[in-house]
Structure 1
Amino acid sequence: MFYFAYGSNLSRARLQARVPEAEPVAVASLPEHRLCFHKVSRRDGSGKCDALYTGDRGDRVLGVIYDVSDEGKRVLDRIEGLGHGYDEKQVVVELGDASRRRVWLYVASDIDAGYRPYGWYKQHVLAGAREHGFPSAYIDVIEAVETVEDLDVDRHYRETAIYQRGD
């Protein structure tokens, strides 16, 4: 199955910590959508990513298509909270060679513009964007997103430890 990751799962280390067999296939863009950090996480009280449909052809969400097994999708459905803050939808993304591919992704069903991501969450998104060579202007937009401090120091450490392993 082809999964379009655009948030924290952009990071190969992050996604493979969850679904070890997931393999990146291609960088792609989703037209008429805008990257937002307004998905409400009831689990930790922060904002997570959403690919918000705008209908504006000038808006694009960049992401990575990953090949994920059926079992891997079930794992992601559970971790992402399918039906509890995220829904899934099929979309057509555009690849760099002007081809298109049908993929599935998670979109937020519980949003609030007042929520902000934790710094470690934004770090996952930035790590993935840099790893996959996203344009600097797109990375600048992500870097400009305001974060809040996660007071759970252990969670912060767990989330950032994957980048300390030297993999």
Structure 2
Amino acid sequence: MLYAAYGSNLRHTRMLERCPGATPAGALLLPGWRLVLRRAADVEPDSSGLLPIGLWQVGPEHLERLDRAEGTALRVYDRRRIALPDGSGAWIYVGHGLRQDPRRLRADYVEHLRHGYRDFGLSPAPLEAALAACGFIG
């Protein structure tokens, strides 16, 4: 099954620490969503948006690990099934009540994001736009 990463799990070393055995499965721009940065990376529906995502091939044990890492039991993020442009599906995590607070975005976390964009060969423009929109200085 596929998992769509848009935040720090784009970074290959970070994801493989969390989910040993997961494999990168490509990258794409997901229409209808956009990246937002609050205390961490998040997504929200946007009819004109294009969300850069990295796809990971994962198994059920990886989703269990990701659920714990993403705080689904605490309702920090919800895991949802989304449709990809080719008609297949993927799992994605959507923030549940994260409040925007750019002061809580740590510079090392932002570096994880930037590194992940490079790992998947994604243009950094959407990430830099989201950083500017939330007022991150760092």
Q: What TM-score do the two structures reach when normalised by structure 1?
A: 0.73
Could you say which residue in structure 1 is the equivalent of 2:22?
A: 22
Structure 1 contact 29–93 (Cα < 8 Å) conserved: no
Task: Quote the offset at 1:113 in angstroms.
Answer: 1.8
Could you say which residue in structure 2 is the equivalent of 1:52?
A: 44
Note the 1:1-167 alignment, pairs <5 A.
1-38=1-38, 47-54=39-46, 56=47, 58-84=48-74, 85-94=76-85, 99-115=86-102, 116-141=104-129, 144=132, 146=136
Which one is further off, 25-34 or 15-24? 25-34
- The unaligned stretches of length 5 or more in structure 1 are 39-46, 149-167
Structure 2 contact 3–92 (Cα < 8 Å) conserved: yes
Superposed CA offset, 1:9-65 (max 9, x none):
001111001111110101022211110112xxxxxxxx11111112x2x21111111
C-alpha RMSD over aligned residues:
1.8
Task: Quote the offset at 1:143 in angstroms.
Answer: 5.6
Question: Stretches of 4+ moved more than 3 A in 1?
Answer: 142-145
| Identity value in percent | 28
Bigger Rg, which one:
1
Aligned pair count? 134
> Measured at CA, do residues 71 and 33 of structure 1 come closer, stay the same or move farther in structure 2, by a change above 3 Å?
same
Distance between the aligned counterparts of 1:78 and 1:130, measured in 2?
Answer: 26
